[in-house]
């Protein structure tokens, strides 16, 4: 008999899922279909809260804003945030650096998770910038996706740009979907906007 896991998210949503008995590893090129609501990536409020903390915690008074990278992973939807050390920044790097980073990302994710994930979201920040892919982002994504799929077979690889504003006092605004592939919210000091894409730079739907 299969075991069922029931969990209640911070926002009161109840999730029921079959418990896996062993990590699922699939060979063959095509990733699995995203098994979330209407095919969207479903982000819980607790995960969004972790994204906010991850990004805001790197800023230091009087110092320039730095780009950082982190990842989300999950089986049916993202349920874990992986914070990489600051010297493993993906964005706008050389090709060698991107390959190394993708390999480290995969290693790190597999070490932190109890199972092999079906979904991996590679995120990097654009401090004081737009939640849009740069030319370099676009050109690096297919290589990063290929490297990640080489290490974690069958995974759906998604990319996200996390734009964060400069610091100034503001009212907190709850996460909301502002476009098919975009969510936006504000902490009391910064506005956050995150946009999701596949490796071909096409929008990936997201829900909160």
Interacting residues toward Zn ion by CB under 5 A: 91, 134, 137
Q: Which residues contact 39 (CB under 8 A, 6 or more apart)?
A: 33, 205
Q: How far apart are CA 26 and CA 152, in angstroms?
A: 9
Between 41 and 163, CB nearer to Zn ion: 163
Smallest separation (angstroms) from Zn ion to the CB of 15: 32
Smallest separation (angstroms) from Zn ion to the CB of 66: 13
Smallest separation (angstroms) from Zn ion to the CB of 91: 4
Between 41 and 161, CB nearer to Zn ion: 161
Smallest separation (angstroms) from Zn ion to the CB of 137: 4
Structure tokens at 169: 């006092």
Between 79 and 137, CB nearer to Zn ion: 137
Residue 75 DSSP code: S
Classified as helix, coil or strand, 32 is coil
Between 52 and 137, CB nearer to Zn ion: 137
| Residue spans of beta strands (DSSP E) within 30-134 | 41-42, 69-74, 78-83, 119-127
């Amino acid at each position: 008999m299969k075991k069922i896991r029931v969990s209640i998210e911070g926002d009161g949503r109840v999730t029921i899922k079959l418990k896996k008995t062993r990590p699922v590893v699939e060979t063959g090129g095509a990733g699995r279909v995203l098994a979330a609501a209407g095919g969207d990536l479903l982000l819980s409020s607790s995960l969004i809260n972790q994204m906010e903390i991850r990004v805001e915690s790197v800023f230091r008074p009087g110092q320039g804003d730095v780009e950082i990278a982190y990842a989300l992973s999950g089986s049916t939807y993202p349920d874990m945030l992986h914070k990489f050390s600051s010297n493993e920044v993906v964005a706008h790097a050389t090709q060698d650096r991107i390959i190394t980073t993708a390999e480290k990302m995969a290693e790190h994710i597999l070490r932190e998770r109890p199972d092999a994930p079906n979904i991996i979201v590679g995120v990097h920040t654009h401090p004081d910038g737009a939640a849009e892919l740069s030319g370099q982002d676009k050109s690096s994504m297919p290589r990063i996706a290929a490297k990640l799929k080489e290490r974690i077979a069958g995974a759906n690889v998604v990319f996200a740009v996390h734009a964060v504003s400069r610091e100034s006092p503001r009212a907190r605004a709850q996460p909301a979907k502002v476009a098919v592939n975009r969510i936006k919210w504000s902490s009391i000091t910064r506005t956050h906007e995150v946009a999701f894409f596949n490796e071909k730079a096409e929008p990936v739907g997201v829900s909160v």
